[in-house]
Chain A
């Protein structure tokens, strides 16, 4: 009994106390320096900000969310396909890998104006495109590595029975790659949010939480800007844990029981 209480304390109470201490320090810092709200926001400024703009937070938050999720889903599709091509064909890997690395090395903030200019006015499309472009790389790399490092014996077991390449992929290669895939997906979720927000903030007449942040910036409305940051963090955490839940369902076998 005592032990479960201790466990409970450690799992819940300790992180909660840490957050409270952090917020208290932040509040104190703003109070001590007597910063006005056009210079800095304190935690106590946030609830009023949400109260004032709650309908904006809901609509803009929804826009950010669906565009991020759609971009991420496209990244999963394209990344998996690309990873499969590179994982199965040595030649394709040699051909595509340098291009991918080069593409990934370009800071995506520089791509934003190009995309915004190319597809001017198509804000939804642009935002989804950027979320996609920024997040497919880790998925493609992890799938290709997962497939190309499959031990030959796994293939031989099925191939010696006359199984086709497609069967080997569905029965062995794909499930075996799932742990790596979900590892990459956790990274991709965060990246996709960066992509959506970059586009929302930079492109004129944008929508979504990024645009809300930008309007706060224009007015030096620090409470609003911080409220947006917290809302973004909240969305990011929710999506992250959805991925964790999916991982538990589909790749839970990869987790070793603590011994």
Chain B
């Protein structure tokens, strides 16, 4: 199967007063169509840079980012993004917030169809009845749900999630994980999830990519055997514990707290 996202040998450095600061060095990530990859790594290893590269908000110094068989050279409307900060527009209702991308991206949907789709997405994430509320009237978890709807409204090929659940409490976060699975079942997308939470990574993704410390390269790739919809119980199996252990160990290597094993790159 052709990969929807292909990141090949990407290098990038930020220009700082103290000289160039390399953040990515030889990054390789491939995501098949409909796949869901989680990217984990130590703090400040360039994970957010990666999202900006895929979204076309930045160009890498070296290497290539391919989306849908086309090389990414600038922003493209086939990408949806959600961040840790839900960045909803306070002066708009939730429904109008969700509709925002359609004001930018050319769409075949009529006004009425667009609104129906927005209402459908909102009901999918459990925000039915909140369409006409303002963001300030919603809790943090609800805002994040609305932000997710906004990222999906224009039916993007790729959904980029940059630590979207990072600021939520543990129980709300687990609720949103379940919501993510329901959304993906109804509205299939190819996803890249940046996260610090290893449980989140194996619960949501089909594949977990561990980045090395800065400058980041692909250090380890874990294939999660159970793909598709999961239940929270799946996190408490011996198999899940084994995966978490492996990932934790890889993170320690990335942080430089454990020696790299023979053969690990």
Contacts and interface: CB of A to CB of B under 8 A. Distances in A.
B83 A160 contact: no
Interface residues of B, number: 26
A161 B106 CA distance: 10
Contact of B154 (A159, A161, A171, A172): A161
Interface string B136-155: 11000000000000100010
Size bin of chain A's contact surface = 20 to 34
A253 B75 contact: no
Contact of B55 (A156, A163, A171, A253): A156
Contacts of B103: 171
Contacts of A253: 90-91, 134, 136
A120 B180 CA distance: 72
A161 B85 contact: no
Contacts of A153: 83, 85, 87
Given A153-B87, A159-B75, A161-B154, A171 B100 contact: yes
A178 B79 CA distance: 29
Interface string B68-80: 0000001111010
Nearest to A168: B104
Main secondary structure of the interface of A (DSSP, over half): helix
A244 interface: no
A157 interface: yes
Contacts of B137: 257
B199 interface: no
Contact of A151 (B56, B85, B134): B85
A162 B75 contact: yes
A158 interface: yes
A251 B85 CA distance: 22
B104 A163 contact: yes
Contact of A158 (B91, B104, B134, B154): B104
Interface in A158-189: 158-163, 167, 171-172, 175-176, 178
A154 interface: yes
Contacts of A257: 136-137
Contact of B87 (A157, A161, A167, A254): A157
B136 A162 contact: no
Contacts of B150: 157
B156 to A, nearest CB: 9
Contact of B57 (A159, A171, A176, A251): A159
B104 A154 contact: no
Contacts of A159: 57, 75
A256 interface: yes
Contact of B81 (A156, A163, A171): A156
Contacts of B55: 156, 160
Given A158-B104, A160-B75, A175 B89 contact: yes
B91 A161 contact: no
B72 to A, nearest CB: 11
B52 interface: yes
Given A167-B104, A253-B90, A160 B56 contact: yes
Given A151-B85, A154-B87, A160 B74 contact: no
Contact of A162 (B77, B85, B87, B100): B77
Contacts of B109: none
Contacts of A176: 89-91
Most buried by A among B74, B89, B91, B101: B91
A78 to B, nearest CB: 25
Given A156-B81, A172-B89, A253-B90, A162 B57 contact: no
The 6 closest A-B pairs by CB, nearest first: A253-B91, A160-B55, A161-B104, A153-B87, A162-B75, A163-B104
Given A156-B83, A157-B100, 10 more contacts: A151-B85, A151-B87, A156-B81, A159-B57, A160-B56, A160-B79, A161-B104, A162-B77, A178-B91, A256-B136
Interface of A: 151, 153-154, 156-163, 167, 171-172, 175-176, 178, 251, 253-254, 256-257
Interface of B: 52, 55-57, 74-77, 79, 81, 83, 85, 87, 89-91, 100-101, 103-105, 134, 136-137, 150, 154
